[in-house]
Amino acid sequence: MFKQFYEHDKAAFWLLTLIGGIVFLIPTANIIFPEESPFHVSAYSISIIGKYLTFALLGLSLDLVWGYCGILALGQGAFFALGGYAIGMYLMRQIGTRGVYGNADLPDFMVFLNWQELPWYWYGFNHFWFALLMIVLVPGLLAYVFGWLAFRSRVTGVYLSIITQALTYALLLAFFRNEMGFGGNNGLTDFKELLGFNIQSSAVRACLLIASGLALMLAFVVSKWVINSKLGRVITAIRDQEARVRFIGYRVELFKLWIFVFAAVLAGIAGALYVPQVGIINPSEFSPLNSLEIVIWVAIGGRGTLYGGIIGAVLVN
């Protein structure tokens, strides 16, 4: 199987090998070699590399919709931020009485703003499984609703790009408001633990890097399979000749909607892996400039290659 994969796409094979090497060697170098050793990798370096891997996953998600379906979505950063807020809400619920105000139920920013009870949309985030569900469901649902309305109305080209950017900016303004219950301008921070383990420890940082690398590898393999399937060929045909594909009898809007939602879910997962490694999530992640930067990653790395978004994200950052 590996021989067939190598012969079919050598670039993809070596990219996966490189990511796998990073996932294995970097945490090992942190654990085995002492700090005075030239081969030692610091906890800070692990966090930086892990963050780059999440950016690579984000770049991959945009390359799917832009490189293969021709949808220049300028709102990919919004799905990334929503995934980050989902895991951030779980991490905030884990602080408990260790916060500044010692309130077991309310995060510190809610106590400061004189909130008397936890908002209903925070319920369930004390459970890790619920947070994982929201990481996938919230970006996916937003992408589904937005995509269904836009693609059904046959909004394409620069008009779709502007609308996706407007959506991102609207979320930016909304999350800046204290009344939304997401920490306002300061966002969510001061995380203590993840699954009962100190989030600042080297072991947790190493595990997050490994999780980011494995998620990137899995997303790449699944995306490669999708693109090489009949579904992927139809999506590529839509990019090149949408009117002709529609005339043949394919429901173009459903194919575009599927790839748009799938890419949004990948971006949400990237955001969820990003937040524990940087220790904060705030409304600035919704900035339209962030979404434009993702486009630059893909353009530099090579649009329509899958690995181009990965390489571009790492090189630019």
What tens-digit pLDDT sequence spans the chain (317 residues)? Answer: 445 455 566 777 777 777 888 878 888 787 787 777 777 778 788 888 889 999 999 999 999 999 898 889 888 999 999 999 999 999 988 887 887 777 778 888 888 888 888 888 889 888 999 999 999 999 999 999 999 999 988 888 888 999 999 999 999 999 998 888 888 888 888 888 888 888 888 888 888 999 999 999 999 989 989 998 898 899 999 888 888 988 888 888 999 999 999 999 999 999 999 999 988 899 999 998 999 999 999 999 888 888 888 999 999 98
Q: What pLDDT, on a 0 to 100 scale, did the predictor assign at position 154?
A: 87
**Enclosing H/E stretch for 189:** strand 188-189
Taking the C-alpha atoms of residue 65 and residue 81, their distance in angstroms, rounded to an integer, is: 18
Taking the C-alpha atoms of residue 159 and residue 122, their distance in angstroms, rounded to an integer, is: 35
Taking the C-alpha atoms of residue 11 and residue 25, their distance in angstroms, rounded to an integer, is: 21
Q: What pLDDT, on a 0 to 100 scale, did the predictor assign at position 7?
A: 52
Q: Is-contact 11 220, C-beta < 8 A?
A: no
Number of neighbouring beta carbons within 10 Å of residue 145: 11
Q: Is-contact 69 258, C-beta < 8 A?
A: no
What token pair was written down for 71? Answer: 């949808």
pTM of the predicted protein model: 0.91
Amino acid residing at 121:
Y
